[in-house]
């Protein structure tokens, strides 16, 4: 066992979204989407938090693009967590949180369809509008 601990990057904002299909459940429940890097303990997604970061979802995005982008978002969260550990962050510094609800995989196609529709029709309240930056010639 490593002396510092084992870390995991989870595609949900802990403690509110433990388990599976957290991106989908958060959108379905009209909550923010994000990732949490935490130390592993004996529970499922219950270890002390190192970094928790929301991921913005933009108008015009599609469900599969959001799922794909979450992988890159998690990579950034775990990179920053490892950097914090290399700079001296330890388990005893980590935020401890109560055990939140556990979500099972979203297998029901009608639920997934609802998630897709909330994104496409704009009813997901956490959608961000992309603004064009003339200076960089990119969306910001």
Q: What pLDDT digit, counting tens, does each position of 42-83 carry?
A: 999 999 999 999 999 999 899 999 999 999 999 999 999 999
**What local confidence, expressed as pLDDT, does residue 93 receive?**
85
**What local confidence, expressed as pLDDT, does residue 124 receive?**
97
Tell whether the torsion through CA atoms of 45, 19, 58 and 62 is positive or negative.
positive
pTM over 0.85: yes
Domain boundaries, the chain: 7-139
Closest CA to 119 of 41, 40, 51, 66: 66
Q: Which residues of 16-35 are buried (b: 16+ CB within 10 A; e: fewer)?
A: bbbbbbbbbbbbbeebebbb
26: tokens are: 């958060």
User: What is the CATH code of the structural domain delimited by 7-139?
Assistant: 3.40.50.170
**What local confidence, expressed as pLDDT, does residue 46 receive?**
94
**What local confidence, expressed as pLDDT, does residue 135 receive?**
79
**What local confidence, expressed as pLDDT, does residue 138 receive?**
67
Report, as ranges of residue numbers, the positions in the chain whose pLDDT lies below 50: none
Residues facing residue 133 across a β-bridge: 138
């Amino acid at each position: 066992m490593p002396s510092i601990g084992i870390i995991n990057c989870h595609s949900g904002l802990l403690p509110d979204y433990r388990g599976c299909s957290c991106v989908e459940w958060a959108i379905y429940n009209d909550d923010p989407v994000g990732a949490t890097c935490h130390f592993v303990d004996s529970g499922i997604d219950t270890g002390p938090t190192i970094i928790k970061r929301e991921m913005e979802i933009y108008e015009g995005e599609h469900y599969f693009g959001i799922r794909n982008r979450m992988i890159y978002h998690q990579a950034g969260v775990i990179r920053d967590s490892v950097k914090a550990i290399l700079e001296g962050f330890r388990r005893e510094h980590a935020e401890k949180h109560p055990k939140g609800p556990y979500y099972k995989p979203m297998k029901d196609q009608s639920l997934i369809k609802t998630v897709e529709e909330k994104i496409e029709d704009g009813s997901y309240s956490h959608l961000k509008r992309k603004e064009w930056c003339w200076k960089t010639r990119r969306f910001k």
